[in-house]
């Protein structure tokens, strides 16, 4: 079976944030991710990771926009300075939290100019942090309307253009189903590019069990393909988190 991580932004929300680390460890997770770990004391989070012996798998860039609006700027024409400023801030947090991966969000945009901007910014980021693993993730436009990186062919084209060893694909099976309706086919075509995997059930984005995605078959496929990265549960529990964790066992 794969190595499972808990997304603490989504899971254990019945608990105060700092208590979620210990809860994840007690539930059987060996790794955690936090989408936007910018509002809590960074050293306190690092202390929880150490005390609980948890791997910090992933965090997102950019920091959240306090005034709302775009989630990401990396592909938005005219906002490269904003993206690079935010990336520098993310790296400062990463120095303490030591994430395996930083997910760079493209933001809302479209067209060839946006793709060129995205490629340019990713080349810059990969060179700016050559020892840090970076990921990009296709996100479906039902959940995030207007998001630039919304299909796997574009992601493959961008990754090939950037051609940086520290940049790879983040494969979310829920988004893959929304985008293509064929998780296994999407993995067959693009899984060799993946460095991190996320899962959630469909429909409903609840626990990854039952529903339209055959997760036992998907997990077996990851094993047979030799995938050695983490698989993170990024979903909204139907009840309390602990009651729905049979999928990791």
Active-site positions read 137, 234
Q: What is the dihedral of CA 38, 43, 45, 48, to 10 degrees?
A: 180
How many other C-beta atoms lie within 10 A of the C-beta of residue 27? 16
Task: Mark out the alpha helices in 111-214 (DSSP H runs).
Answer: 112-128, 152-162, 173-180, 183-190
Cα(71)–Cα(87) distance, integer angstroms: 13
Cα(19)–Cα(24) distance, integer angstroms: 9
Q: What is the dihedral of CA 7, 151, 1, 225, to 10 degrees?
A: -150
Q: Which three-class secondary structure string do you get for 52-108?
A: CCCEEEEEEECCCCCCCCCCECCCCCCCHHHHHHHHHHHHHHHHHHCCCEEEECECE
Does residue 203 have a cis peptide bond before it, meaning omega lies within 30 degrees of 0? yes
């Amino acid at each position: 079976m794969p190595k499972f991580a808990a997304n603490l932004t989504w899971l254990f929300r019945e608990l105060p944030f700092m208590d979620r680390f210990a809860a994840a460890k007690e539930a059987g997770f060996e790794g955690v991710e936090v989408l936007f770990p910018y509002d809590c004391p960074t050293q306190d989070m690092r202390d929880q990771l150490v005390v609980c012996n948890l791997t910090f798998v992933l965090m997102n860039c950019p920091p959240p926009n306090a005034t709302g609006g775009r989630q990401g700027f990396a592909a938005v024409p005219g906002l490269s300075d904003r993206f690079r400023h935010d990336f520098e801030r993310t790296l400062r947090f990463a120095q303490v939290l030591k994430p395996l991966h930083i997910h760079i969000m493209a933001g809302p945009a479209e067209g060839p100019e946006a793709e060129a901007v995205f490629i340019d910014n990713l080349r810059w980021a990969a060179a700016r942090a050559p020892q840090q693993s970076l990921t990009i993730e296709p996100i479906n436009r039902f959940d995030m309307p207007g998001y630039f990186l919304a299909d796997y062919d574009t992601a493959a084209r961008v990754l090939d253009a950037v051609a940086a060893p520290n940049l790879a694909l983040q494969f979310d099976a829920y988004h893959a189903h929304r985008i293509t309706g064929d998780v296994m086919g999407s993995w067959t075509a693009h899984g060799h590019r993946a460095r991190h995997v996320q899962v959630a059930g469909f429909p409903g984005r609840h626990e990854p069990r039952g529903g339209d995605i055959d997760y036992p078959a998907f997990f077996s496929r990851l094993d047979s393909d030799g995938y050695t990265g983490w698989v993170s549960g990024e979903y909204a529990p139907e009840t309390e988190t602990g009651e729905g964790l049979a999928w990791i066992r």
